[in-house]
Structures are given as C-alpha cells and as structure tokens.
Structure 1
C-alpha cells in the first residue's frame, strides 16, 4: 500500500514537473498586484525612471535580483531526487530478449 502511494505521488510530481516545463516555454507568467500603497507606487515609478525603465520592467528586475539567490527554488528533478533518496535505489533486472513472434494472420 505504501509503495503504491509513493509510486502515485512520484508520477504526479513528474507529471507536474513536465507540464510546468512545457507550459513555461510557451507562455510567460503574469501577476497583478492589488492594493498597492500610493507612496510605494510613486517610489517604484521614480526608481524606474532613474533606471530608464518602465515600472513593469523595474518590477521584473527587482524580482530577478531579489530571487536570484533564493536557494529554496529547486529544479523539479532535484526535488524529486531529494524526496525519494531516503528510500534508496532499486536495481531492476533487465529481461533477456526473446525471439520475435510471428505476426498474426488475419487472412482467414
């Protein structure tokens, strides 16, 4: 039961990671910030003007530089490896190849 649960969780994590990688290459994410204080918005506008950027570009740059050193954002493959590392590895036996079967005859 535990092995089946872990296997299903693994499949779900891998499916999510693959979907995230696929969709992130097609679409850029966007966010909306509501209830931003007037003073904060004005400081952002001035900062953007000082750097010769739009407010939107300035926010992107702030997020990039702030999150660049964030070690909590793991690559999905690394997160999966860390999740299953305590369980140890599995050595699977590779079955020997069998001769090819004759194709079915549907002429009858």
Structure 2
C-alpha cells in the first residue's frame, strides 16, 4: 500500500475530518481513505455525457414501457387587445 502526507491542512478541515471519523466509528486515516476513494469513484462514474447519465438514472423504472399520451392541437393564442 502507498502512503501520502498532506501538508498545510487547514485546522478546520482536520477538525471536521476528526468529527466525521468519530461519527463513522473509524480513524481519521480510514475516513480520509474512504473520502478519497468515494470522490474518485464519483469522478469516474460521471465521465459520461449527460444523456447517458439520465438514461442510467431512469433505467430501473423501465420508462420505455410508459404510455405516451396523444398530442392535442395547440391552444389559441390569447388576444390581449
């Protein structure tokens, strides 16, 4: 396994990391590893285009099977005179 050192970490960030790690019942190092892994997984998952992302989001709902209502004629444009 590789190691990294993070220098000049803002004290507020360190405090928030410590609190978050305590809430999850793990060490600050483990919490930092989890955050990094999740951030990089999200980055990889979002590398596609918007259309593909929307399609993947709604795929479980089988929207292809929904009935599309028939189109109706447009309404008359209101006359404001």
TM-score w.r.t. the length of structure 1 is 0.39
Q: Which has the higher contact order (CA 8 A, sep 6+)?
A: 1
Aligned pairs for 1:87-102 within 5 A? none
- CA drift of 1:35 comes to 0.5
- CA drift of 1:70 comes to 2.6
Corresponding residue SS for 1:69: helix
Aligned pairs for 1:5-16 within 5 A? none
User: Aligned pair count?
Assistant: 44
Which ranges of structure 1 fall in alignment gaps of 5 or more residues?
Answer: 1-27, 72-108
Rounded Cα–Cα distance in structure 2 between residues aligned with 1:39 and 1:68: 25
- Root-mean-square deviation (Å): 0.9
Instruction: Give the match for residue 53 of structure 1.
Output: 26
Aligned pairs for 1:1-108 within 5 A? 28-71=1-44
TM-score w.r.t. the length of structure 2 is 0.51
